[in-house]
Amino acid sequence: MTTELTSPANALQVKETQPFTALCFTTHATLLTLPQQTDGSAQRLFQEATRLGLTITGPIHWIYTGVNGDETNEFQLEVALPISQPGDPSDAFIYRSFRSFRCACHSYTGSWSDSGPVYDALFAQLYRDGYQNDGHIREVYAVVDLENPSNCVTEIQIGLV
């Protein structure tokens, strides 16, 4: 858990993200089936963007719609790789434009497998501060270090009503 979360009043900041265009992989999953449903999807998106000559403009986003913490609840997941503009059609992926997104966010440093308690603390603060989640959560993978997962940096964005 990050040091910011030891003081929950400082864990979340409200912001509005910028709109972006992305090359996307979309699936439906549960928290239990997520690893099987998404295995290698980010790497395949980068490979396809390179093959198509697309300009990558930011880190990969995982965009959850309808996730609620219940491991058996089915939700939609879009793995989105921001690009400057669509190019030739892709056989495997779609292009999608995402609007700006009002959210409460927190930058988490650490292994993804240890993020459960972070989400618990963030949602506790969210509700305590009088906000409501709109059913969307984004994870923006600012730093990915598979050799040393404790170095990973993920911006957690919780959509607001």
- Would you state the CATH architecture of domain 1-18+102-161? Alpha-Beta Barrel (3.20)
Rounded to 5°, the CA angle 104-61-129 comes to 10
Indicate the pTM of the whole model.
Answer: 0.88
What are the two backbone dihedrals, phi and then psi, of residue 160, each rounded to the nearest 5 degrees? Answer: -110, 145
d(CA 19, CA 36): 29
Contact 137, 78 (CB under 8 A): no
DSSP count for the chain of H helices, then E strands: 3, 8
Type of residue found at 135: G
> Residues for the chain: how many in total?
161
pLDDT for 4: 47
Q: How many CB atoms lie within 10 A of CB 100?
A: 11
Answer for the pair 12, 106: CB distance below 8 angstroms, yes or no. Answer: yes
Q: What is the DSSP letter of 112?
A: G
CA distance 93 to 90: 5
Pick out the chain residues at pLDDT < 50.
Answer: 1-7
Taking the domains of the chain in order of start, what are their residue ranges? 1-18+102-161, 20-98
CB 145, CB 34: distance < 8 Å: no
Quickly count: other Cβ atoms within 10 Å of residue 95's Cβ: 15
pLDDT given at position 35: 83
Beta partners for 83?
A: 21, 56
What's the pLDDT at 146?
Answer: 87
